[in-house]
A and B are shown apart, each in its own frame.
Chain A
Amino acid sequence: MMKSKPDEEDYWNSSKFKAFTFDDEDDEFSRLKESKQAVNSIRGLVEEDDDEDDVEKVSWSGEPVGSISWSVRETAASNHRTDREPAFPKINTETPPLSRSHSGYSLSSLFKGKTKGGNFQSITDTLSDSSVRLYAPELRKPKSEYKDYVSDWSPEETVHRMKQGKSVSLEKFRSLQDKLLLLDFSVAAHDGNVITAVLIYLKRTLSKEVLFRELESRQTALRHFIHYLTETRDQKLLLELLRALGRTEDMVLLQYKEHLSIADENKRRDFLKSCLSLPFPADDSAHVQDHYTLLERQIIIEATDGQAERGGKVEMFHKFPRRASIVNMPLITTLYYCCFYHYEEPEGSFSSPLNIRHTFRISEKQFFVTALAARAKLKAWSDVDALFTCRNWLGFTRKRSPVTFSRVVDILQKNSAPTQVLQDYVALVDDVTLRISLAQKLKCHDIIINTYRDLKDRQLLLGYRGKVEIGSAEERKIIELLDNQQIRWKN
């Protein structure tokens, strides 16, 4: 159902949806406080007759005692204490070597083939049998097991066996035609495990050119192959494949991804530089360029600042010690950092916020918001003020802001700005209702009083008197206004 504009106000202000707020009624929160008090008052009564058995034992890390994660932690802790065994313990030669390769079946059980359904089972089949056996005991072996002596299975039958997890030999499929049949049947069976198994075989027995050519027309198989190469970290082959298919974008991103595994920042920077020549799609090229430039800068800034901080002479670092290195941080974080520590610097310097703004083409809005937050954190209120002021052609200054003033107030408040400062900006909020609600939340009495006065609403002003401190300057102001005969009150 589409709504028209005028409805919107009603929508949110009426109780149609009771758009719930967490802070709506103070009663809600105080109810919670009451409940908490009630519970806490009983706590003493409950705990005095505490028997250990009823309470679940919990270790210091929070895991229930006796659980697996607790046990793992205990083992790890104890291992640090005990010494390691010497490197050459006695080799156990008692058990016959053959039995190692079978899931617990002794040698004699290999020849008990007949009891399992009347067929001779090859050694490798014992693996699959255990999977069948593990089902709820009542289930008998599936019927298809009975006719598996024949070793000349067609591609279709082979795929069918593979679906059931049985081991097969794919070596006998040597012609390309057979191999492709195998692949197509496995795709038709929808089982990724089988598809990947066939692909592993094809990778081993077909040349790259032939394989790539055939995969081009088989999307499902292609996806599985790409996933397999990704998992086995076969970067080289994967890149060749993508190149052969003409998937430049994927190829380029894959190469770019490598940077994540380079820990050293200088090496990473050099790697990114080499990425710049790759054929990225239009926008991405610019992003990667920015990535390189930014990292280059960050390394320089980090080196300079790190040295300054250690030197101990720069006051800023002394008062607000840096919590982390700026290397590899996102652009906006870096901007914030520079607005914090290097605000005054001239545009020529690498760490100057203006330089960063210019180099990375940061929008006015974004720059403004970041600078505001940084200066507010430092309680540099004059800097904050300077962000807004601008002269118009008449020579007067007025405050201008690229974002709404309510947003400005929000940011200032989050940085614990004092009420006097907040008041100035709340006063600039255009929308009257919003202004009042903000002022009420932040207890900017003067604003509310002034607004009610401007609205010429006597009732609201009267009502507000109860909310200010008795005998305060605000109360006197209210009384003064109420007595003022010149104001033409609405009500």
Chain B
Amino acid sequence: MAHSARRDSPELPDFSLLKRLARDQLIYLLEQLPGKKDLFIDADLMSPLDRIANVSTLKQHEVDKLYKVEYKPIVSTSDQLCFLIRPRIQTVKWICDVANADKAAGRFRRYKIIFTPQKFYACEAVLEEQGIFGDVTTDEWAFYLLPLDDDIISLELPEFFRDNFLAGDQRWVRTAGSALHLLHTVYGPFSKIHGIGRFSKMAYESWREQVEEGETKARQAEIGKVFLIDRDVDYVTPLCSQVVYEGLVDDIFRIKCGCVEFGTDVTSSDKRVKVMLNSQDKVFDEIRNEHFSNVFGFLSQKAKNLQTAYDKRRGMDIQQIKTFVSEELKGLKQEHRLLSLHIGASESMMKKKTKQDFQELLKTEHSLLEGFEIRECITFIEEHINRQVSMIESLRLLCLLSITENGLLPKDYRSLKAQYLQSYGVDHLLTFANLKQSGLLVEQQPGETLTVMESKVGKLVNDKAAGKLTDAFSSLAKKSHFRALSKKLNLVPKSDEEYDLRVPRDMAYIFSGAYVPLSC
């Protein structure tokens, strides 16, 4: 997300303060276990931790060796072990196994577990059951928020979606409330909060409680209004294919924790490179939100500029060259490096998105969004599945179909499911069950709800009226929630005018003009 173009908008708050707070807290915790120790880090936490405290900082506080948490016996020889983990039962069980193995071998060590962002009672129960409760010290590291860019902050909790929306487990409610509370304390106080969705409400209530428990100092608020939106309010946006530069980079290379790894075909050397992608990368900052069709033009312009700037030095005298070297050269070299990476990435994208297929995919998505030629879309999805193009992409299309049409027709559901299982394996029976549970891929249920309603109301009125009511109800039931919503909010832009992707009027450009994300 680029900065606002308006000159009267206030400066963004300095979110690096969050990093400093987290770092200081972690150091404090590490010092609670004095002496040399080995640190085991949860795989998910390695990248975030890197952004907060790097290896030298950790070493300064007597951390000897660093290990990744892997569920197998450890090789560490240190007398003190420190574990920095997310509160997962499986991980805690593994730690207990480690400690019990040590006990069995007669080896005495000190163990410290740092749970982040908080400890769960279920974890303590495991420690107790395994007889390790008295042998470890436990702590909580209140690391809730990681700034990924000047204006993006992440909770870095990948398991959140599955826990909350699939299993219906509300364990992270307090975490969300605490994260809000942290922002409120450091950058608030908030003036107004708006929200949509059940979970937003719960998070809000948790936050309110924490505010009342604590004390708020009066200060100059840097964050005033807050909007909370549940993910399941709009599933359509993440299901559509992305066509802006940053989106495509994520699609093809996977951006994790603000970093991406480029392979050898991009770097045109024999090394892989991990790059941080944020607004510090000047080239990236300018193209990240651009529709891919604009990116080439921009990159070529930049390359020309770079060449010109470099050629400048031909006509310089000694003094000018000196200034040039000391001031501009470094910046130019940096830009050159970034530019070549992004050009390489763009080339890779072009090759991977084999033109014909991607075109058809987009066309199908757009048709689904508009509710146009649904049967052709279903045929396309069928072929997509038959050709075993991509497991995830096939599912994405199926879910998009289900959401925009308020569920698949039973015969379509059966047929597409059977074909999917044939193409990608029968164990996806479980996948389909999960998708059904989370509401992403369901069958239409016209019969049931209608008759219940009908019979209830039918008892109250006479036959003629009952007949009219049935018609009214059936038209309501068939109309998909998505369609009604998209009409009301104008989410699918009218296509009678020319849609210019270079100077877009609204946010629909990120889907080539087909759909405006609900949250915009």
Contacts and interface: CB of A to CB of B under 8 A. Distances in A.
Interface of A: 1-3, 8, 11-12, 15-23, 28-29, 31-32, 34-36, 38-43, 45-46, 49-50, 54-55, 58, 60-64, 66-72, 75-76, 79, 84-85, 87-89, 91-92, 100-104, 127, 130-131, 134-136, 138-140, 142-144, 162-165, 190-197, 200, 220, 223-224, 226-228, 230-232, 249-250, 253, 256-257, 259-260, 283-284, 287-288, 290-291, 294, 328-333, 360, 362, 365-366, 369, 403, 407, 410
B303 A283 contact: no
Given A17-B513, A127-B138, A220 B168 contact: yes
Contacts of A194: 121
A369 B384 CA distance: 12
Contacts of B141: 134
A240 B419 CA distance: 33
Given A34-B303, A62-B272, A62-B274, A39 B140 contact: no
B8 interface: no
B36 interface: no
Nearest to A219: B168
A62 B276 CA distance: 12
B181 to A, nearest CB: 9
B443 to A, nearest CB: 11
A407 to B, nearest CB: 7
Contact of B168 (A50, A66, A227): A227
Contacts of A144: 213
A288 B426 contact: yes
10 contacts: A17-B499, A32-B347, A67-B55, A69-B46, A75-B65, A89-B79, A192-B170, A200-B125, A227-B168, A365-B386
Contacts of B261: 62
A373 B217 CA distance: 70
Interface of B: 21, 25, 28-29, 31-33, 41, 46-47, 49-50, 54-56, 58, 65-68, 75, 77, 79, 88-90, 105-108, 110, 112, 118-122, 125-126, 134-135, 137-142, 163, 167-174, 185-186, 202, 205-206, 209, 213-215, 217, 243, 261, 271-274, 291-293, 296-297, 299-300, 302-304, 306-307, 310, 325, 329-330, 332-334, 336-337, 339-340, 343-344, 346-347, 350, 353, 355-356, 358-359, 362-363, 370-373, 383, 386-388, 414, 417-419, 421-427, 429-430, 433, 492, 494-501, 512-514
A100 B134 contact: yes
A101 B512 contact: no
Contact of B213 (A164, A260, A284, A333): A164
A192 B171 contact: yes
A46 B214 contact: no
B121 A196 contact: yes
A54 to B, nearest CB: 6
Contacts of A332: 386, 388, 422-423
B492 A18 contact: no
B292 A20 contact: yes
Contacts of B497: 16
Contact of B66 (A72, A85, A230): A72
B513 A21 contact: no
A131 B139 CA distance: 7
Contacts of A260: 427
B137 A22 contact: no
A76 B125 CA distance: 32
A290 B329 CA distance: 66
A230 B88 CA distance: 12
Given A15-B498, A36-B343, A49 B121 contact: no
A142 B214 contact: yes
B227 to A, nearest CB: 20
A217 to B, nearest CB: 16
A257 B355 CA distance: 38
Given A36-B347, A62-B274, A130 B106 contact: no
Given A100-B135, A139-B214, A366-B422, A69 B50 contact: yes
A104 B137 CA distance: 8
* Overall SS of chain A's interface: helix
A88 B106 contact: yes
A3 B419 CA distance: 30
B422 A360 contact: yes
Going nearest first, the 10 A-B pairs with the smallest beta carbon separation are: A192-B171, A104-B32, A197-B121, A62-B272, A192-B170, A223-B168, A35-B303, A291-B426, A38-B303, A142-B213
A2 B517 CA distance: 20
Nearest to B68: A72
Contacts of B209: 163
Nearest to A82: B77
A43 B267 CA distance: 13
Nearest to B203: A190
B145 to A, nearest CB: 13
B54 A290 contact: no
B66 A43 contact: no
A405 to B, nearest CB: 14
B9 to A, nearest CB: 27
Contacts of B89: 231-232
A104 B112 CA distance: 10
Nearest to B177: A191
Contacts of B350: 22, 29, 32
Given A92-B79, A130-B140, A103 B303 contact: no
B296 A32 contact: yes
Contacts of A230: 167
Contacts of B121: 162, 193-194, 196-197, 200
A346 to B, nearest CB: 24
A415 to B, nearest CB: 12
B306 A39 contact: yes
A72 B84 CA distance: 14
A284 B344 CA distance: 46
Given A91-B108, A192-B171, A410-B356, A66 B55 contact: yes
A75 B414 CA distance: 51
Given A131-B142, A193-B174, A256-B429, A333 B388 contact: yes
A123 to B, nearest CB: 11
